[in-house]
Amino acid sequence: QSALTQPPSASGSRGQSVTISCTGTSSDVGSYNYVSWYQQHPGKAPKLLIYEISKRPSGVPDRFSGSKSGSTASLTVSGLQAEDEADYYCTSYAGRNNPVLFGGGTTLTVL
Amino acid sequence: QLHLQESGPGLVKPSDTLSLTCTVSGGSISSHIFYWGWVRQPPGKGLEWIGTIYYSGSTYFNPSLRSRVTMSVDPPNNQFSLKLNSVTAADTAVYYCARHDYADGNWFDPWGQGTLVIVSS
């Protein structure tokens, strides 16, 4: 099964908002609410940002929000800050035979 | 606070078996709620799920790696392990272990710091 599709890059100015998309199919993103997002700074382990489409773990700023429409999930980062510059990955449940699909990742640049 | 730490050889020869262990501290690997997973990241590339194990020994694998992967769990030592056989240069990656909420939200948190494994003769 193919990975979820994310744009390779995204950018925004400090204080602005940016949205990163994660496109799947009716077999994964479109069928389940188990979409999560991870932030990864260079040389560091990924960090959970969003789970179950729009829930935030304790400690994650509310500047990060998630949503889903059809087979596309989205991560929105509001009030961009310099430390938001990182790689972002989405994942989705895709059924019992392949429970975890990752997106290819998006590099976010804060201008 | 839960902490995970990967350990194992950093260099593996082609066609050999890659073996890694993840030690969990600050919590029990025998949790009835959570599972334990492995994710890898080739240099400069994205994340790839390898597999997940429950404390009972039940396993779930990425179909693309299933034929080469085994996983085991060692509750007394609060560890779980990964073995990947017949490795090639394409298996060179940073390998992460993580707690996996497989049964509910299907998310990974927290993650270990990762360990780089290079496949080379």
Render B19-59 in DSSP notation, one character per residue: EEEEEEESS-TT-SS-EEEEEEE-TTS--EEEEEE-TTS-E
Distances (CA, A) of B21 to A5, B82, B107, B110: 31, 6, 21, 16
Cβ(A18)–Cβ(A85) under 8 Å?
A: no
pLDDT at residue B60 in the model: 94
B109–A98 C-beta distance less than 8 A: no
Contact across the interface for B105 and A36, Cβ inside 8 Å: yes
Q: Is the pLDDT of residue A1 over 70?
A: no
Query: Is the CB of residue B47 less than 8 Å away from at least one CB of chain A?
Result: yes
Task: Supply the pLDDT for residue B32.
Answer: 87
User: Each residue of B11-52: pLDDT tens digit?
Assistant: 999 999 999 999 999 999 998 889 999 999 999 999 999 999
Q: What is the average per-residue pLDDT within A39-58?
A: 97
Rg (CA), chain A: 13
One-letter amino acid of B16 = D
* Half-sphere exposure in the Cβ direction for A8 (13 Å, CA): 2
Strand partners, B49: B39
Name which of B61, B65, B107 to mutate to probe chain A: the one with the most chain A Cβ atoms within 10 A of its Cβ. Answer: B107
A→B contacts (Cβ < 8 Å), by residue, are 1, 3, 34, 36, 38, 44-48, 51-52, 55, 57, 89, 91-93, 97-105
**pLDDT tens per residue across span A57-107:** 999 999 999 999 999 999 999 999 999 999 999 999 998 888 899 999 999
Burial of A33 (0-12, 13-18, 19+ CB in 10 A): middle
CB contact under 8 A, B102 and A55: no
For residues B6-26, b (16+ Cβ closer than 10 Å) or e, as one string?
bebeeebeeeeebbbbbbbee
- Residue range B64-97, pLDDT digits in tens: 999 999 999 999 999 999 999 999 999 999 999 9
State mean pLDDT over A8-18.
Answer: 97
- The answer to whether B39 and B48 have CB atoms below 8 angstroms apart is yes
